[in-house]
Structure 1
Amino acid sequence: MRYSTYQSIFPMNLEKMQENQKKGSKGFSQLIAQMITNTLLLKLLILVIVVWIAGAGVLTVFAAPSVPKVEVTKLTVQPGDTLWQIAIKHKPERMDTRVYIEGIVRINGLEDRGVQAGQVLKLPYF
């Protein structure tokens, strides 16, 4: 078979095989060093990503448009006024009166639901 086209996929050169084996013992320490380097690079990459995300969050907070200040409506309680009457006069049209009264109680920190003449109440804005 002088003119055969067959070529083996296995290395037939014994000298090359021995040379590769010698490099293999040297290559193990290089492999460990490369793994350590890759681990450090991975940790550095994760740190950069975390710092980037945190920085973007901080910038987003500072770049957010300011919330317009809502003027608080204050009301001086007149003699004979009750929370129910005040709520009916000042609540939004479709809101339940009891919900608006609860808002008045919370915004003013009232412990009991009674009000006295001359008392100044803040009215919630909905």
Structure 2
Amino acid sequence: MSRGTARPTTPHGAERVADSAVGAPSAAVSAAHLRLTTRGRVVLWLLAATVVALVTLLGSQASADGPVTAQEVQRHVVQPGETLWQIAESVATPSQDVRDVVVALVDLNELPDAGLMAGQVIVVPAR
């Protein structure tokens, strides 16, 4: 062997790895494929969750039709034996369902239920 043609020997067969990487195009092709790591998958899941959360929050915002007009109310003192149904019948217009007026009165007065006590003061729509 002449001096110029001798290959230097390296430990653990590094010479063989270098020869196969140069001569094998399949090694370069397999390195081009994308592989996700665990951290990459976590980042993608967090990104997807953020997009879903933003779409949910921004998509559910309701726009107002306009300013709400104030409703005129008056105070009503509940008499003994008087029910919310009777009060609703007295303030309901002919086109209103009394059941809807009862629900509106419960909401308007923030009552826990439709039960009333004598002497209790509630507000009702003005007649």
Q: Give the TM bin, normalised by the shorter chain.
A: 0.3 to 0.5
User: Which is helix-richer, 1 or 2?
Assistant: 1
Taking structure 2 as the reference length, the TM-score comes to 0.42
Taking structure 1 as the reference length, the TM-score comes to 0.43
